[in-house]
Amino acid sequence: MIPITDPRIEEYLRGLAPEDDTHLIAMEQRAKELAFPIVDRLVGRLLYLLTRLRQPQLVVELGSGFGYSAWWFARAVSITGTVVMTDRDGANLDYARTMFRQNGLIDRLEFREGDALEIGREYRDIDILFIDLDKEQYRLAAETMIPRLAKNALLIADNALWYGRVAEGGDDPETRGIREFNDFMCLRRDFFTTIIPLRDGVMLAYRLS
Using CB under 6 A, list all residues that contact ligand SAM: 37-39, 63-65, 68-69, 86-89, 92, 115-116, 132-134, 137
Nearer to ligand SAM, 10 or 134 (CB): 134
> Of the two residues 58 and 169, which places its CB atom closer to ligand SAM in the complex?
58
Strands 58-62 and 126-131: parallel
Q: Which is nearer to ligand SAM, 99 or 205 (CB)?
A: 99
Q: Which residue number, 119 or 185, has a Cβ lying nearer to ligand SAM?
A: 119
The distance of closest approach from Cβ of residue 126 to ligand SAM in the complex, given in angstroms and rounded to an integer, is 16
Asked whether the beta carbons of 63 and 95 are under 8 A apart, the reply is no
Provide, rounded to whole angstroms, the least separation between the CB of residue 134 and ligand SAM: 4
Could you give the strand order of the β-sheet that contains 82-87, starting from the edge strand earlier in sequence? 109-113, 82-87, 58-62, 126-131, 149-158, 202-207, 191-196
Instruction: Report how far residue 125's alpha carbon sits from residue 58's, in angstroms, rounded to the nearest whole number.
Output: 7
Q: Smallest gap, in angstroms, from Cβ of residue 189 to ligand SAM?
A: 28
Residues 6 or more apart whose CB falls under 8 angstroms from that of 42 comprise: 10, 13, 14, 17, 198, 199
Measured from the CB of residue 153, what is the shortest distance to ligand SAM in angstroms?
A: 18
The secondary structure of residue 136, as a DSSP letter, is G
CB 79 within 8 A of CB 108: yes
Q: Classify 97 as helix, strand or coil.
A: helix
Nearer to ligand SAM, 136 or 150 (CB): 136
Closest distance between ligand SAM and the C-beta of residue 40, in Å? 8
